[in-house]
């Protein structure tokens, strides 16, 4: 009898623990991921975006100044970020919708290991410009604490939007159409 009660208590505890773990996992899968909690002088709207040290898919140095002359919508992501992955098809759709326009859609990956970045680019059939940061300067200067994050630069490299709406939001497409004078 006593053994049955102890067994029941153990089963209840295990079931409750599993339920809590699943609930926490579901919340984490829906919320942006926290990268760090660090205070630093961050870039603001109107600031010129510095040339951060990055590499492109050809494994050569890539600089944001190389993209001047066009608007640049930056998608900041990482291979481990579920919300980032969820937005990727919508980002790809925007690329298609604005193909041939005066805008570059740039994926900027935060993974420390290049094989994760390259693997995702290949496996997820990501097109266009895909770069990877080579140090923490980009994250620090933009004050990136959560991803995905979308940043919009003007044709001269100045920050227009530091927290652009996500690609799955209809207002993102409307904003870009107005910016590019497309009806």
pLDDT at 34 over 50: no
Give the other-Cβ count within 10 Å of 136's Cβ.
Answer: 16
Pairing label, strands 71-77, 149-153: antiparallel
pLDDT at 27 over 70: no
- Distance, in Å, from the CA atom of 85 to the CA atom of 71, rounded to the nearest integer, reads 23
Question: ∠ at Cα 25 (163, 86), nearest 5°?
Answer: 45
- Distance, in Å, from the CA atom of 138 to the CA atom of 119, rounded to the nearest integer, reads 22
- The pLDDT confidence band at residue 5, using thresholds 50, 70 and 90, is confident
* Beta-ladder partners of 104: 72
Q: What is the mean pLDDT of the chain?
A: 83
Give the other-Cβ count within 10 Å of 61's Cβ.
Answer: 13
Cβ atoms of 119 and 80 within 8 Å: the answer is: no
Place of tokens 């996500």: 166
Q: Pick from 77, 56, 75, 57: which is nearest to 66 by CA?
A: 56
Domain ranges within the chain, ordered by starting residue: 2-30, 34-179
pTM for this predicted structure: 0.76
Domain over 34-179 is classified CATH 3.40.30.10: yes
- The pLDDT confidence band at residue 130, using thresholds 50, 70 and 90, is confident
pLDDT at 94 over 90: yes
pLDDT at 45 over 50: yes
């Amino acid at each position: 009898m006593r053994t049955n009660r102890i067994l029941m208590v153990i089963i209840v505890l295990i079931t409750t623990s599993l339920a809590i773990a699943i609930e926490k996992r579901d919340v984490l899968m829906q919320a942006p991921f926290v990268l760090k909690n660090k205070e630093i002088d961050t870039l603001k709207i109107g600031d010129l975006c510095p040339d951060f040290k990055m590499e492109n898919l050809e494994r050569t140095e890539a600089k944001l100044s190389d993209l001047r002359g066009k608007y640049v919508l930056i998608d900041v992501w990482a291979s481990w970020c579920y919300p980032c992955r969820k937005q990727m098809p919508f980002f790809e759709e925007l690329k298609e919708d604005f193909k041939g326009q005066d805008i570059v859609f740039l994926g900027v990956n935060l993974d420390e290991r290049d094989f994760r970045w390259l693997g995702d680019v290949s496996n997820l059939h990501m097109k266009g410009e895909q770069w990877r940061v080579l140090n923490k300067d980009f994250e620090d200067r933009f004050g990136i604490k959560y991803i995905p994050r979308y940043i919009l630069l003007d044709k001269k490299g100045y920050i227009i939007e530091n927290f652009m709406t996500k690609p799955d939001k209809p207002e993102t497409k409307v904003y870009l159409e107005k910016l590019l004078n497309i009806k």
